[in-house]
Structure 1
């Protein structure tokens, strides 16, 4: 293939997320969508999950175009040679989850109306997604510096296998020292509940993975794994869920329907229901006692 066969879009194509600053940088699939990068706080183009050697200039090379302005998050998602459009008012965002497992990245936006928007991306581009999350949070956080509070020195302890969760916790506390530590739940082996005949399922050991919960008067943040339950093996994923406290309408705890000694923390924000499995600990105990204010 000669250079004459190429296009600027193909020449720049790679596995990374690029920030779009001008109309000329928009992927051609999305050129007529009415997105003006100069009027947006951030515009990102997310490439297809293909190797460059399998790409060619005739392809539409970007799976998503994400645009954030003063009022809306707009997500354009490729569907063959066209695309779907999702428009999320910023004041409808209930929670944001970002997770990475090796090179698999996934950002999910939960809304008070119920619809969920998920964008898959190459985790090597996670800094762009974290910056987008920060800007989304700024749309509902009070106008004050996130680092203006007094330093916080809580030092949670987890197993060596969960050093990644601790690293993310310390990074977050360094950026947002006003957050207070609410709950630390270590990983544990869990047993299935008996079936109606009183017999337990014979299964491989199941691990309920660790999590760290922090909060302030504006948000609840939970650091966890992408999958809460796995077999008896290490999980190299890392996830963080951020919930807007003003959008929360209810917090409940109920026994897990499958595992002994496990409760499910359910946080509701309108039609959005987010569930977090937890073993025994202060967060479960306080919520069971009706003290959700302490979260």
Structure 2
């Protein structure tokens, strides 16, 4: 049987994210882009979010090609037509890059089969893309590789001294005596598992603070406040749990896809936030402006910002507050 162009790519197509090791593995859409596979640390191809039965041999079947090279991450992305515009799909692909020493935070989120990786740069720009959640293990491989590259680039080698890294570590040590062994209710035990999975690959990573989910009451006075509270009885707001961990070079936070979620349906999403201490300039704690018993913790990372929502008085709240005080 004659093999037509694209058959090999089509035959291997599926929802999984594959590592690219040889030229033949590069999706044809991206083959005109110069890629030194021998010098690259990791190259991954991210498939389109379509079923196998909807794929055809003449399609470009990969949404992204991720190339982690020396000093930068390059993301090649298939061009797609905006949803609001009808007509032919634009051809070609876009190229985005971020320098490794400019990365200040990485967040990987999966909710059901909807995956989303975001890489924040010091200038506030975000490089992000979606992927099928079944490929999260491969994305974790990329995040681990970035962790290994970003941290030495920012600290001049492993081991960060001074600033918020030391302050948070000292605060965690001071609060350790007030905590029992890490334990959460059954609905949040997966957070412990998420932490343990990363700790198995990062031996010095230790749990610093943790809390389970809790229902929080809306703020508001008068008739509008009473109406909000009544509506929340039918569809309560849950502030979800988290495990905050760290080693001598980075902060890691394991939680859900969103901090606050309305409704009574179970939430089984997962997120991993990685913040190198070399990128952390300040932490600001303020009361949440919508719900009682919650505080906002804003991580300042150059021009970038990362927002956490924590239970008021929780171990995580105390950790960031004490760390901020120690950092001066």
Pairwise same-fold verdict (TM > 0.5): yes
User: Is 1:136 the counterpart of 2:167 in the alignment?
Assistant: no
Matching residue within 175, 179, 182 for 1:156 = 182
Does structure 2 retain, via aligned residues, the 8 Å contact 1:251–1:292? no
Unaligned runs of 5+ in 2: 81-90, 160-175
Q: How does 1:24-39 map to 2 (within 5 A)?
A: 24-39=24-39
Distance 1:213-1:292 versus aligned 2 partners, 3 A rule: farther
2:182, 2:213 → 1: CA distance?
Answer: 13
TM alignment of 1:72-111, pairs within 5 A: 72-80=72-80, 81-111=91-121
**Structure 1 residues 267 and 144, CA gap change in structure 2 (3 angstroms):** closer
**Any runs of at least 4 consecutive aligned residues in structure 1 with deviations exceeding 6 A, and if so which?**
none
| Distance (Å, rounded) in 1 between the aligned partners of 2:77 and 2:61 | 12
Deviates more, 1:175-184 or 1:7-16: 175-184
Superposition map of 1:107-186 within 5 A: 107-142=117-152, 143=157, 155-186=181-212
Higher mean displacement: 172-181 or 51-60: 172-181
| Greater relative contact order (CA < 8 Å, ≥ 6 in sequence) | 2
Cα distance change of structure 1 residues 6 and 27 upon mapping to structure 2, 3 Å threshold:
closer
1:245 aligns with 2:277: yes
Q: CA deviation at 1:289?
A: 5.4
Give the 3 Å change call, closer, same or farther, for CA 219–293 of structure 1 in structure 2. Answer: farther
Would the alpha carbon gap of residues 8 and 158 (structure 1) be closer, same or farther in structure 2, given more than 3 Å must change?
Answer: same
Q: Any idea what SS the aligned residue of 1:167 has?
A: helix
- Tell me which of 266, 270, 284 is aligned to 2:317: 284
**Unaligned residue ranges in structure 1 (runs of 5+):** 146-151
Task: Give the structure 1 partner of residue 172 of structure 2.
Answer: none
Structure 2 CA distance for partners of 1:259 and 1:245, relative to 1, 3 Å: same
Shift of 1:43: 0.8
- 1:196 CA displacement: 7.5
Write out per-residue CA displacement over residues 131-159 of structure 1, whole angstroms, 9 at most, x where no aligned residue.
111111111334559xxxxxx99731211
Change (3 A) 1:140 1:40: same
Check whether the contact 1:46–1:62 (CA below 8 A) recurs between aligned residues.
yes
Shift of 1:218: 0.7
Which residue is equivalent to 2:69? 69
Residue 38 of structure 1 aligns to a residue in which SS? coil
Q: Judge conservation of contact 1:154–1:181 (CA < 8 Å) in 2.
A: no
1:7 has 2:7 as partner? yes
1:235 equivalent in structure 2: 267
State the Cα distance separating 1:40 from its structure 2 match: 0.8
CA contact (8 A) 1:40 1:67 kept: yes
Larger helix share, 1 or 2:
2
Tell me if structure 2 keeps the 8 A contact 1:212–1:223: yes
> What is the aligned counterpart of 2:304 among 252, 272, 288?
272
Deviation at 1:178, TM superposition (A): 2.0
Q: How many residues align?
A: 288
1:108-138 CA-to-partner distances (Å, cap 9, x unmatched) read: 1111111111121122222211111111111
- Whether 1:212 and 2:243 are equivalent positions in the alignment is yes
